[in-house]
Structure formats: C-alpha cells, structure tokens
Amino acid sequence: MTGPFSPTREARQAQMFPVLSPEEVARMGRFGTPRRFADGERIVRTGKPSPGVYLVLSGTVRITGRDAHGQDFPVVEHGPGSFSGELSQLSGRPSLVDGVAVGEVEAIEIPGEQVHTLLVADAVLGEKLMRAMILRRVALIETGAGGPVLVGSPSSPDMARLRSFLSRNGIPHQLLDPASDADARAFIERYVPEPAGLPLAVCPDGEVLRNPAESELAHCIGMVDDEPAGAIYDVVIAGARPAGLAAAVYAGSEGLSVLVIDSRAFGGQAGASARIENYFGFPTGITGQALTARGYAQAQKFGARVLIPLEARRLACSPGEPMALHLSDGRVVRTRTVVIASGARYRRPAECGNLMALEGRGVWYWASPIEAKMCAGEEVALVGGGNSAGQAAVFLAAHARKVWMLVRGKGLAASMSQYLVDRIAATPNIELLTGTEIAGIVGTRDTGITSVTWRSRDPARSETRPIRHVFLFLGADPSTGWLRDCDVALDDKGFVATAHDAMLPHQTTVPGVFAIGDVRAGSVKRVGAAIGEGASVVAQIHAYLAARSIPAPA
C-alpha cells in the first residue's frame, strides 16, 4: 500500500487488506453473484453508493483516494482473494474511494443485505471482514480521503463546528487553509463574494456549499438517505448515545428491524470524553469516541439503519396501530415500538444570557482534539464537577497553559470518581476553585469570547480574566419536548417515568414506548449503566410484541 499512511497502519496491512484462501473464497462466494468488468471499467466511484462488496477472483481492482486538491493517490490494488469495501458498504452510504478494473476482472458482487448475512452467518469470515472494514475507515479518516473538503481558516468558529460534526461521526474530511494554500484562495475568490459564506464545503460529488448547516452537509455526503417505501420498523430508537447504540446492537442481533436517529452525533457526551478509565474491560482506558464508534459499527453490522443528524419532533401513538414518529426533515416513520434514548440537552448557566450566541465561538460542551488545538497555550475555564468535567480538565491540561476549574460545591469527591480527583490534584496547571460559579461572559459572534468572570462565595469576591474558551459540563436537561402529543408521563424535572409494569420495567405509561439511559427518571448517569439498560430493554420489546401476537423475526 502506498500513499500518506502512517507506519502504525502499515504494520496492520495484513488485517486491513487480507488475502483469502481458496476455501475462504468459496465460502464467501456463496453470498454473491459473479460479475465481469472490462479493462478500465469503473467499479466504484467516490460520492456514489456502491452496490456492495466485491470479492476479486481474477484480475486487479485499483483503489485510489482523492486529496484535498482533487488529485488521485493510490491506496491499494485488490488481486485474487482480496475484497473491496469499508464501513460505507454496511449502510449503503456513498463510496469514499474510486475503484477501477486493471485488465479483465472477474469478481463476486455481494450486495449490502448479503454482507450483513455473511457477517452473522460465518463468524470467522465475518470477523475478518469487519476488522478490515473498520481499519480501512480509520485509514481514510486519517488521510481525509473521500469525504468533503472544507475550505477556510482553521480558527474559524464555523470551521470548528463543521469539523467537530464530521469528526464525531467518523467521516473523513480534509481542510484547505487559504492562508497557506493558493488553490484555496482561488477557490474562495470564485465561490465566496462575502466572508459570511465561509467556510466552503466541497462535497464528494463536486457540489459546493457555503457555510452549511450540519444537516446540509450530512445530505451532501449521504449520511441521511431516503426511507424505504412503506417501511414499518420493529423499533425506532431516538438517540444514538451509549444506551441507544446498545439497544440497536442487541435488537439488530436478534433480528428486529431497527432505525436509530440522533440530532448531532453518535455517542452523545460520552462520545466526546477524552478518556474513560473506569469502564469494565478496558484497564488502560479508552476514548469515548473509540468506544461509541465500535458500538456504532456493531449496530450497522447487525443491520440497524442510523440516520444523523435527524431529530424527533413529534410522536403520534394510536393504540393498536403502528406509531408515527415525525422527524426534523419532514419525514414520518412508522414503528411498532419506540425506545426513548434521547439523553439530555446541555445545561446553560442562567447568569450568562449570551451563551447561545457564543456557542462554537469559544463556548464548548465537549473537549475534542479540535477544541484543544484552538486553545493551545492559553488559559481556559471549565465549569462542572462530574466525571465528564474531570476527563475534559485532564485532557485540556495537556494543551492549555492553565485550566481554571470552577465547581459550585465544596469539592469533587461527591460527584467524581476518585481516580480523576487524584489526577486533577496531581496536575500542576489545573487550579480547582470550589464554591465558585461562572458569573458572566463577554463577547460577540464576531469577536468570540474576550473575557470571563466568576464569583466565589467564601470569601465573597469576583474575578475577571481574559479567557477566550469556556468548557461547560453542568449536566443537562432531558430532551423530551417531542413527547408532548403522546401521553408519556414525565417526572417533575422532565425525565421519563418508567417501571409501571413489573414485567416491563423500562416501559413508559404508553404501551410499546420504552425509555433508557440518561433520559429515564432514576437512571444511573454512567456509560456502563446506560449500555446495560440498552441491552435489557430488547427482551422487554420482544415480550411486548409477543403479547400482541406480532410475529418475531425469523
């Protein structure tokens, strides 16, 4: 393999691009149909959905990526016993690479539906394919090949917004900075007469978007596809956070038809955690992105459809009929059951009335490498005392000159795991201010944040510092407004009430509607607990469907 790939990935080339034995080729070939391609014929094309995975029997398929300037670079050549495809082929998304026949090519075409069947039916081959697909996506993410090209200043708030959206959803992308790239300057002169149009997003099919919303960008790269006509799902899961992803994995693995939606990215706030060290089975820790990305890929392995970014707007539930879930893009999906896993919306301090205008312009609700790079060498303020806040503080301390950590309580022990408390105490550039609240933020959409003021109770005093980045980890309010037209009971804080039926402890007051994870009243706000609820709710869905004589999937 050639091209801009790191030595770490090259060491895993045998896993990324395995060559199957004749016996494995025969087993895999049972799931597809023979195809022939002439020399030079295009087999897969960047930006266009691929029919599936191709197992090469003879000849060569040359795979190439495209750099930020639209130039091809070689990725790999698939010879006999090799197969094409990465995670896009699990979900029917547009291809991220080009593939062309070199000489006459004989291959087996395995459609997407049959790829899912193969992954489940043949565990050994399925493991080999799944590992290869994941590693190939990682390689594409690191090179940016096949995804959109963002043109504009890396320090632009809107650039940070788009890069964060793509990164958190595992979408390869590349950046062209007009300050250092003549092609980027020429491109901007051609397409953007006004600065408000920046950054530009160049889609894989050549379409150019001017400072797009996340939903626009998602449509242009095929993240949000059309609904199959007349589809009625066994379960629609509102929320692709750990609880929702776990429910999708277990429901899909048991043959239920599953649709998952989320308004922003898979993983939720857990997906933005810099390092989770107290999750069972990962003694050295794992990033939230890595953990939830595995769940996201696993859900797709078992056939779950995941649409991001889409938001639930209204649930119409009629007894004895499939429920209708109205989504933010106007579509209506029908389903026999609904799992509410919509988590919560980030809480904003009441003292800072201009927060919404400054979100993405110095106000952040997560700490990823993108935000860390923007505040490198600077002072930052971080508000909150939970585990997410502690993980973010330690992560940011490796980049920022100083992290001011503001906590309303007397300390961290009551709300944070002890290992994080100890690590914060041992980090010299984290200063913990207890009994302290944020009191004000100064800035505009044009300037971003220019200063931050906080207020302590004992002694009573205020301090203002020239800080440009504030990270808020204040917990969140439940995202349940979309349930107002369905008689789902909420507690006095807006969380979904469950446990009305001892046999179906996650069912709400509406039969067939279940709640799991942070949005459920009384839930334990931990990743492990959320995943456990996602697993256990599937048995309750089966029980609900069986009680209504709805046939279980074959």
Look at residue 554 and tell me if it is in a domain.
no
Report the number of distinct structural domains present in the chain. 4
Q: Please tell me whether residues 380 and 269 are part of one structural domain.
A: no
Mean pLDDT per 10-residue segment, the chain (554 residues):
51 89 97 98 94 97 92 95 95 93 98 95 96 94 91 91 94 95 92 86 92 95 85 96 97 96 90 84 90 96 96 87 93 96 79 84 89 94 92 96 96 92 97 95 89 90 95 85 92 90 93 94 89 97 88 56
- Both 109 and 215 in one domain: the answer is no
Of 453, 472, 491, the domain-final residue: 472
Look up the CATH number of the domain holding residue 70: 2.60.120.10
Helices (H), 326-405: 355-358, 369-374, 387-397
What pLDDT does 213 receive?
A: 94
* DSSP characters over 290-312: HHHHHHHHHHHHTT-EEETT--E
**Angle ∠(370,402,443) on CA atoms, nearest 5:** 65
Say whether both 120 and 161 belong to one domain.
no
Identify the domain boundary among 445, 472, 499. Answer: 472
Residue 508 placed within a domain: yes
Residue 544 pLDDT: 94
Q: Which domain holds residue 128?
A: 7-143
Position 350 in a domain: no
Residues 23 and 127 in one domain: yes
Predicted local distance difference test score (pLDDT) of residue 243: 96
Q: Is residue 225 part of a domain?
A: no
Q: 339 with 481, same domain? A: yes
Query: Structure tokens of 398?
Result: 């490796």
- Print burial letters for 180-193: b (CB count within 10 Å at least 16), e (below 16): eeeebeebbeeebe
Task: List strand residue ranges (DSSP E) for 11-90, in order.
Answer: 33-37, 42-44, 52-66, 72-78
**CATH number of domain containing 213:** 3.40.30.10
CA dihedral 487, 247, 147, 205 (to 10 degrees): -60
Q: Which of 426, 449, 472 is the last residue of a domain?
A: 472
Kindly state the DSSP code that residue 520 receives in the 8-state scheme: B
Structure tokens belonging to residue 451: 């200063």
Any domain includes 163: yes
What's the pLDDT at 553?
58
Are the C-beta atoms of 77 and 61 separated by less than 8 Å?
Answer: yes
Residue 203, class by beta-carbon neighbours within 10 Å (0-12 exposed, 13-18 middle, 19+ buried)? buried
Does 179 share its domain with 240?
no
CB 538 within 8 A of CB 302: no
Same domain, 72 and 95: yes
Please tell me whether residues 51 and 106 are part of one structural domain: yes
Indicate whether 275 and 423 sit together in one domain.
no
Is 303 a member of any domain?
yes
Tell me the pairing of strands 402-407 and 379-383.
Answer: parallel
Distance CA 459, CA 522 (A): 36
Shared domain check, 512 and 487 = yes
Residue 527, domain CATH: 3.50.50.60
User: Other CB atoms closer than 10 Å to residue 177's CB: what's the count?
Assistant: 18
Question: What global pTM score does this model have?
Answer: 0.90
Helices (H), 311-463: 355-358, 369-374, 387-397, 418-425
Task: Let me know if residue 279 belongs to a domain.
Answer: yes
- Residue 133 has which token pair? 């697909």
258: closest CA among 336, 348, 187? 336
Q: Which of 514, 490, 487 shows the shortest CA–CA distance to 501?
A: 514
Whole-angstrom distance, CA of residue 182 vs CA of residue 523: 54
Does residue 257 sit in helix, strand or coil? coil
Shared domain for 459 and 536, answered yes or no, is no
d(CA 269, CA 273): 7
452 with 529, same domain: the answer is no
- Going from the C-alpha of 232 to that of each of 158, 192, 325, 336, the distances in angstroms are 38, 44, 11, 7
Q: Is residue 226 part of a domain?
A: no
With beta carbons less than 8 A apart as the criterion, state whether 47 and 87 touch.
no
Is 191 in contact with 184 (CB distance < 8 Å)? no
Q: Choose among 446, 374, 449: nearest CA to 160.
A: 374
